[in-house]
Amino acid sequence: MRCRACRAPAVVDVPRHHAAFCTDCFLRHCREQVGRAIDHFGMLGRGERVLVAVSGGKDSLALWDLLLDLGYEADGLYLGLGIADYSPASRQAAEAFAHRRQARLQVVDLPADLGFDIPVGSRAARRAPCSACGLSKRHLFNSAARDGGYDAVATGHNLDDEAAVLFGNVLRWDLAYLGRQLPVLPATDGFVKKVKPLVRLSERETAAYCVLRDIDYIVEECPMSAGNRHLRYKEALNAIEVRSPGTKAAFYFGFLERMAPLVAGAADEEREGLHPCPGCGSPTVSETCAFCRLVAAARA
Ligand code: SF4
Ligand code: ZN
């Protein structure tokens, strides 16, 4: 196997592109894919400040590394979920990376700063752990970015993640979610812009990127992910991708090009009636926002 770009011995193959790369050319390929995603979807302008949602896993650390190398002013925010074993190890990976790159990492720890953890909070609020976790992340990343004067929150969703979420939304024809499933969600009242610069890279590519860049990431999955239906969607798509490389990219980018404009209105309707939550000021359509209700239930 030879590198497509320079003909040196290859170390990584990317079947979707019918290509293999040596280390240097693969790292350049990753930078190019992220740069192309940022430019094509208008994610970030030069000089914009970015807050990277850092979990300590391969995707978020690869994203942070790539944004720094591409010259963006990118700080990290790590959210401690209070999940035994997993949270201390993931925090350590995030802090070690920040130290190595001399980058700024902010830490919000749910148990220490807000008085609850995800296992207890989700039970008290009668939510699935991943639902309570997702809600907490969306709320806390947005408020930290807003308070810190950042122009955007960047998350490490890769092509596999986006294709799996799209698959789930299509299986249920969830138009409101489909209308929001975009690589850029522009800033609106109370919401900071959200961007996903890794959508042109697969999970396998972000893992290879970290290995070749010698980035120590937490390999263990969060124990709460067991039974998560997105994992089943990923498995189903992986089975198809092995036989037909490029299917995930065709599914996801075909959706963005041909279907997303048709369902954009469904997400807009949801935003009607938003007002500031009396507890925290975040936009909500309910009397009190879902995060404030989660916190109240967890502390009760
Ligand atoms: Fe949160 Fe669920 Fe992901 Fe664990 S698996 S980090 S609980 S969303
Ligand atoms: Zn609130």
Rounded CA separation 297/281 (Å): 19
pLDDT at 270: 66
**Does residue 2 lie within any of the structural domains?**
no
User: Which are the contacts of 157, defined by CB distance < 8 A and separation ≥ 6?
Assistant: 59, 165, 196, 198, 199
Burial class (CB in 10 A: 0-12, 13-18, 19+), 74: buried
CB of 134 shorter than 6 A to ligand 1:
yes
* Tens of each residue's pLDDT in the chain, 300 residues: 999 999 999 999 999 999 999 999 999 999 999 999 999 999 999 999 999 999 999 999 999 999 999 999 999 999 999 999 999 999 999 999 999 999 999 999 999 999 999 999 999 999 999 999 999 999 999 999 999 999 999 999 999 999 999 999 999 999 999 999 999 999 998 899 999 999 999 999 999 999 999 999 999 989 998 888 899 999 999 999 999 999 999 999 999 999 999 998 877 766 677 899 999 988 898 999 999 999 999 988
Residue 73 falls inside a structural domain: yes
Q: Which ligand is nearest to the CA of 82?
A: 1
Q: Is residue 32 part of a domain?
A: no
In a domain, 6, yes or no: no
What's residue 190's pLDDT? 87
- 176: domain CATH number is 3.40.50.620
* Amino acid residing at 66: L
Does residue 229 sit in helix, strand or coil? helix
Structure pTM? 0.96
Ligand 2 center–CA 57 separation, angstroms: 29
Number of domains observed in the structure of the chain? 1
Q: With respect to residue 3, please indicate whether it lies within any of the assigned structural domains.
A: no
| Cα 187 to Cα 152: distance, rounded to the nearest angstrom | 8
Of residues 155, 157, 152, 177, the one with CA closest to residue 167: 177
Top mutation candidate among 78, 117, 118, 131 for ligand 1, by most atoms within 8 Å of CB = 118
| Structural domain includes residue 194 | yes
Ligand in closest contact with the CA of 60 = 1
Parent domain of 49 = 41-218+228-299
User: Which SS3 state, helix, strand or coil, does residue 185 take?
Assistant: strand
1 assigned to some structural domain: no
